[in-house]
Amino acid sequence: MKNTIMEQASKLKEEIIAWRRDFHQNPELSFEEHRTAEKVALHLKSLGLDVQTGVGRTGVVGILYGKEPGPTIALRADMDALPIHDQKQTGYKSTIPGKMHACGHDAHTSILMGAAQFLSQVKRPERGNVKFIFQPAEENGGGAEVMIQDGVLQNPKVDAIAGLHVFPGVPTGSITAVKGVGCAAADFIRIKVIGRGGHAAHPHTAVDSVTVTAQVITALQHIASRQVDPLDSVVITIGTIQGGSANNIIAPEVELTGTVRTLNPALREQMPEKIEKVIKGVTEAMGATYEFLYDKGYPSIINDDQMVELVLQTADAVLGAGKQSLVKPSMGGEDFSYYTHVVPGAFFRLGVGNTEKNTTYPLHHPMFDVDEDALPLGVAMLSAIALNYLSQK
């Protein structure tokens, strides 16, 4: 399989790179992926696929029917960019100030377009179907959930799903995967500490919301260090603090926002109560009051063990021995998780790191780039995963 699939996928390299650079130069934010979606839809239609547009607002779905009836596997790519200014000095850097593909979704989209072309023109499945899901709004808006609500996993019913994410921390030519919980649930918190304003020279006549807030922030870390099993993982990070108007005025209130990351679904359910208990205790003890919002974001990815084994076996065959490995879960969030809570799925990392090509900057960095030699490897992996899954069912 290695020679056949890799050789054929490599023939698509120039096209895939051209797509990726076009998308990279023309990034579109969440639910604004109109140009990207149009180009994807035109490509899928040119391949003779059954194409649906406007799924999940700006999503595109292509369906490839095999020669004989059978199960359906979905392959997914996200399409949206980030509100980051591209600082690279390349011929394909973003042409839109303040918008950039800093998370590799341009690569994901191009890879899946290549897989659609490979499976429709080079090696069509003998039986079963492949559903190509081009999803909007992974970064902001939960596009996966919106597409599911629009029926993306039905007609035909999806039996399994696979997806990838380019990753600069993995060298080009390799992939990594996680069995079970793959990524953390990512939740949002907003806290308002309400004191009583006054003159900075007379703090005893006021309730200093800044000092109360400092105690709240410190106390929240007690949850992670002393209230949660050390074998579980939780991250509570306060990302913004807004309060005060002058150096000689005691601020009447301070507002905080942050994120809570958990791997254990049961622990996730406990976090709102644990956090509010700390906030309530500290503010009451110091004479302040509070407002608290806990907004659940993306759930954790739950990778199916059999699907992960399929990915690893496929990597051995396509990339060669020693090019795959199992790794620890990530505390990052990813809305591919919504699919894995409905159907068996596997989400893996495709290495794009290459120090010689300066492609080791982390995700969401203004200098982020990918080693384009990895793009046909992604095409080969997704195509082979689909073929292997359908041949085994």
* 14 tagged catalytic: no
* 291 tagged catalytic: no
Cα(166)–Cα(54) distance, integer angstroms: 26
Query: 165: helix, coil or strand?
Result: strand
Cα(376)–Cα(283) distance, integer angstroms: 56
Cα(247)–Cα(124) distance, integer angstroms: 69
Of the CA atoms within 13 Å of residue 360, those in its CB half-sphere come to 8
Distance of CA 270 to the CA centre of its chain: 24
CB 363 within 8 A of CB 100: no
| Exposure string over 248-276, b if 16+ CB within 10 A, otherwise e | eebbbbbbbebbbbbbbeebbeebbebbe
CB contact set of 11 (below 8 Å; sequence gap of 6+):
none
Among candidate residues 106, 138, 253, 334, the one labeled active-site is: 138
Cα(73)–Cα(93) distance, integer angstroms: 34
Among candidate residues 28, 33, 78, 80, the one labeled active-site is: 80
Q: Classify residue 247 by burial, with Cβ atoms within 10 Å: 0-12, 13-18, 19+.
A: exposed
Which residues face 76 on adjacent strands?
A: 133, 163
Q: What separation in angstroms does the CA of 173 have from each of 10, 53, 176, 376? A: 13, 33, 11, 10
Structure tokens at 54: 């406007």
Amino acid at 363: L
Q: Which are the catalytic amino acids? A: 80, 138
